[in-house]
């Protein structure tokens, strides 16, 4: 997606409708700074604003995301291309979240072990050592929960029986056994328990 091209297109269509940035912003309940950012290619309108924006500018969402007017016959083909591109983008973002999650988790764990070894070595057993262990454990648990939340929120789990993709509840994800990112889950579609693989799109 070419944000600069999209921005120029938004600006062109806005001017055709004789709207100022302020007037357009007001109709979309956004700030004029947001409109200015779209037009300079610094950001895309949020998905929930896109339809209204297209409505005001007299274009469709395909045209908005391509940054140009397209004929009716091209429309369906372009839709497919855009959906594929958005899916790819989603997969890329999800992979990034996943990598970050593992880095955070492993770093925290190493940190946790180091603090305990260091504290045990320098303080010996006693109330201060106990406090340090407690606090570090609480932090480790919080980070682990956060990582679990990220993992459950990112992508889907695919049922190995019927290949239905679903997102389990946190509580379910927390208590079911898992190996790496493959979890033993009940499929809401076929109601069978199976080892469900994580898929990112
Ligand atoms: Zn299933």
Using the mean position of ligand 1's atoms as its centre, give its distance from the Cα of residue 188 in Å. Answer: 7
User: Ranked by mean pLDDT, which of 26-40, 82-96, 141-155 comes out on top?
Assistant: 26-40
Confidence of residue 99 (pLDDT cuts 50, 70, 90): confident
pLDDT of residue 150: 81
Distance 83 CA to ligand 1 centre (A): 25
The pair of structure tokens assigned to 131 is 């406090």
d(CA 114, CA 39): 50
Average of per-residue pLDDT values in the chain:
88
| pLDDT band for position 175 (cuts 50, 70, 90) | confident
Q: How far is the CA of 58 from the centre of ligand 1 (A)?
A: 43
165 C-alpha to center of ligand 1: Å? Answer: 8
For 79-131, the DSSP string reads: HHHHHHHHHHHHHHHHHHHHHHHHHHHHHHHHHHHHHHHHHHHHH-SSHHHHH
Q: How far, CA to CA in Å, does 129 sit from each of 136, 137, 144, 168, 170?
A: 11, 12, 22, 38, 33
Rounded to the nearest whole angstrom, what is the distance from the C-alpha of residue 145 to the centroid of ligand 1?
Answer: 26
Give pLDDT, residue 176. 85
Pairing of strands 165-166, 178-179: unpaired
How many whole angstroms separate alpha carbon 125 and alpha carbon 199? Answer: 46
Query: Residue 96: which pLDDT band, with cuts at 50, 70 and 90?
Result: confident
Q: Answer yes or no: is pLDDT of 138 > 80.
A: yes
Q: Residue 53 — pLDDT band, cuts 50, 70, 90? A: very high
pLDDT in the model for residue 48: 84
Calculate mean pLDDT across residues 96-110.
Answer: 86
Cα(196) to ligand 1 centroid in Å equals 9
Q: Span 22-49, mean pLDDT? A: 92
Q: In the beta sheet, which residues pair with residue 197?
A: 158
Between 52 and 70, the more confident residue is 52
């Amino acid at each position: 997606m070419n944000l600069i091209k999209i921005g120029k297109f938004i600006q062109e269509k806005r001017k055709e409708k004789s709207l100022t940035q302020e007037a357009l912003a007001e109709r979309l309940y956004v700030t004029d700074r947001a409109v200015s950012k779209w037009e300079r290619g610094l950001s895309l309108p949020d998905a929930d604003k896109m339809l209204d924006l297209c409505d005001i500018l007299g274009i469709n969402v395909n045209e908005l995301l391509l940054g140009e007017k397209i004929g009716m016959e091209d429309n369906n083909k372009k839709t497919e291309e855009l959906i594929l591109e958005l899916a790819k983008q989603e997969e890329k973002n999800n992979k990034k979240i996943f990598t970050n999650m593992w880095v955070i988790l492993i770093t925290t764990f190493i940190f946790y072990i180091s603090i305990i070894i260091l504290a045990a070595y320098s303080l010996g057993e006693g109330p201060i050592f106990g406090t340090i262990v407690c606090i570090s454990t609480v932090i480790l648990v919080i980070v682990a929960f956060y990582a679990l939340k990220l993992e459950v929120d990112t992508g889907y789990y695919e049922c190995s029986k019927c290949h239905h993709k679903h997102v389990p509840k946190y509580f379910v994800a927390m208590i079911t056994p898992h190996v790496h990112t493959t979890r033993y889950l009940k499929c809401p579609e076929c109601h069978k328990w199976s080892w469900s693989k994580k898929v990112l799109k």
